[in-house]
Chains A and B, each alone.
With several copies, the nearest count.
Chain A
């Protein structure tokens, strides 16, 4: 472990800023067969809801140029099962804290999930997903309205002592406005961005490839949009940002931190390459030497200096 890689999120010191993104890493233990997942900074666990959900019909996946669309729709076994079964399995192979991602279809659901997560030692940060484009009634629409976003933030903050990070949707006119609203409402940090709404069509049948028609588009293709948004939000808020969107290499991590991220998450790239996070962590010190970066923390928000 290289001390130069360490970053701090709301008092929690991570060995490195590399966190697999929610939904692309299951509950983590699937990856233990590829490498020691304790090398990761942390793990953002699959979006969890109050009740078990199957999610959307298949096909749920469409390939794109340097990216993919997913319309999984928050498949998960429900919060009780997540805590009892999934976290337990994860703890057998992983000894750090997680970023626990929760979703809901009503304010009360977020609150109930937050209450339950609050009791779990394994939870280092509560990541509140108000930006899932793949579920009707809720999800993304919470993330496009600053007032509702702030309400959810307040309600969750009221029932937990864990740091609360709000995960923002990029499918908005003004992401800064929403970031400011959740900061004001007490958010401890911001995770951004979730997927962009996208679609693909089958040339032969003329039908949408995704059963749900649209889904969340992510991967290296969306990186310039994520970088722009992180840059804008860093300028406007004082709470830390976990930068997400198109990260696939150590270079991408540095660029995202320069834009303003304190840590980063890797999403789609885990799907195409199960070793993605490990490779990034291994390459970071080499790249830092090349660029003359002493400590990663030094470059957070450097573009703003």
Chain B
């Protein structure tokens, strides 16, 4: 169910220079899937800001966000104890599939939504290969958190300052090409993952949003199965419905 709720900030701390982790206390009964998102009211800006769920339990939501502009700067300045207004219940999220293996590929702030997904898959008994891509060492986060869940983790950095040098797609070799995949990150990364894999997967997309709940048609995209709204029928799309041809 979509609704506007008030959440209390329990934690708001930097993971890297620009990336923050925020824990919010409040209603979480609306969550149905990992990869869903919330839309945060920013006191100083007109529109809300969409941020994916990284994790959740009975009374808290965890999000991880990168400071890129006015809205996320405001978020970074909010203090523990402050209450914020959030539109919740948004998006379809990932559907964790039963399978022997799964490949999770995240880039930058595309990493967070994969965390809860990884947890759910491992709980289902799936063996999870996680590939995380960042620009450089100082921007890396959550490698250890994924390892603690029991996943096998590879980190790539574009400049080679940590882990494997290069793009995440270069790591998708051998067996990994045949694992059902789940991916979230910048568009070129999603496309590279789509191209590298020999099987089907779920990809999480971003788009500038007006409303975030299906009213304005601001976030539409064309798919093989018709027009979709990233905020309602997405953000997660199945690889089968995407209008891409393999490069």
A and B touch in the complex (CB under 8 A): yes
A46 with B217: CB separation less than 8 A: yes
| Chain B CB within 8 A of A85 CB | no
Q: Are B217 and A72 neighbours in the complex by a CB distance under 8 Å? A: yes
The residues in B between 216 and 247 inclusive whose CB is less than 8 angstroms from any CB of A are 216-222, 227
Contact of A61 with B46 at beta-carbon distance under 8 Å, contacts A33-B1, A54-B222 already known: no
Does the CB pair B215–A271 fall under 8 Å?
Answer: yes
* Minimum CB distance partner of B1 in chain A: A33
Residues of B contacting A160 in the complex (Cβ-Cβ under 8 angstroms): none
Q: Does the CB pair A274–B211 fall under 8 Å? A: yes
Q: Knowing A33-B1, A34-B3, A68-B47 are in contact, say whether A271-B220 is a contact too (CB < 8 A).
A: no
Contact with B along A41-65 (1 / 0, CB 8 A): 0000010000000110011111111
B46 close to A66 (CB less than 8 A): yes
With an 8 Å Cβ cutoff, the count of chain A residues facing the other chain is: 34
Q: How far is the CB of A65 from chain B (nearest CB, A)?
A: 7
B227–A61 contact, CB under 8 A? no
Q: With an 8 A cutoff between CB atoms, is A201 at the interface?
A: no
CB nearest to A46 among chain B residues: B217
CB distance from B39 to the nearest CB of A (A): 9
The answer to whether A275 touches B4 (Cβ under 8 A) is yes
CB-CB nearest in chain B for A269:
B46
Interface residues of A in 21-42 (CB under 8 A from B): 23-26, 30-31, 33-34
Q: Contact check, B45 vs A24: say whether CB atoms are below 8 A apart.
A: no
A270 touches B220 (CB 8 A): no
For residue B211, which residues in chain A have a CB less than 8 angstroms away from its CB? 24, 270-272, 274
A75 to B227, CA, bound (A): 9
Residues of B contacting A59 in the complex (Cβ-Cβ under 8 angstroms)? 207-208
Q: Which of A62, A64, A270, A274 contacts B208 (CB 8 A)?
A: A62
Q: What's the minimum C-beta distance from A80 to chain B, rounded to whole angstroms?
A: 16
**A67 part of interface (Cβ distance < 8 Å):** yes
Roughly how many angstroms separate A59 CA and B215 CA in the complex, as a whole number?
16
- B214 adjacent to chain A (CB < 8 Å): yes
Q: Please state if B222 and A63 are interface contacts (CB–CB under 8 Å).
A: no
* A70 at interface, CB cutoff 8 A: yes
User: Is the beta-carbon distance between A70 and B208 smaller than 8 angstroms?
Assistant: no
Contact of A67 among B46, B207, B213, B214 (CB under 8 A): B46
Q: Which residue of A lies closest to B68 (CB)?
A: A204
The answer to whether B220 touches A30, judged by C-beta atoms less than 8 angstroms apart, is no
A219 interface residue (CB < 8 Å to B): yes
Asked if B227 and A30 sit within 8 Å, CB to CB, the answer is no
Minimal Cβ-Cβ distance residue in B for A221: B46
List 29 A-B residue pairs with CB atoms under 8 Å apart, sorted by A's residue number.
A23-B216, A25-B215, A26-B214, A26-B215, A31-B215, A34-B2, A46-B217, A55-B217, A58-B207, A58-B208, A60-B218, A61-B219, A64-B46, A66-B46, A67-B46, A68-B46, A68-B47, A70-B216, A72-B217, A72-B218, A75-B227, A209-B208, A268-B46, A271-B216, A271-B218, A272-B48, A273-B4, A274-B2, A274-B215
Sorted nearest first, the 4 A-B pairs with minimum C-beta distance are A61-B218, A271-B211, A59-B208, A271-B210
Further 15 A-B residue pairs, CB within 8 A, beyond A24-B216, A61-B209, A63-B46: A23-B216, A24-B215, A30-B214, A54-B227, A59-B208, A64-B46, A67-B46, A68-B210, A75-B220, A219-B46, A270-B215, A271-B211, A271-B215, A272-B47, A274-B211
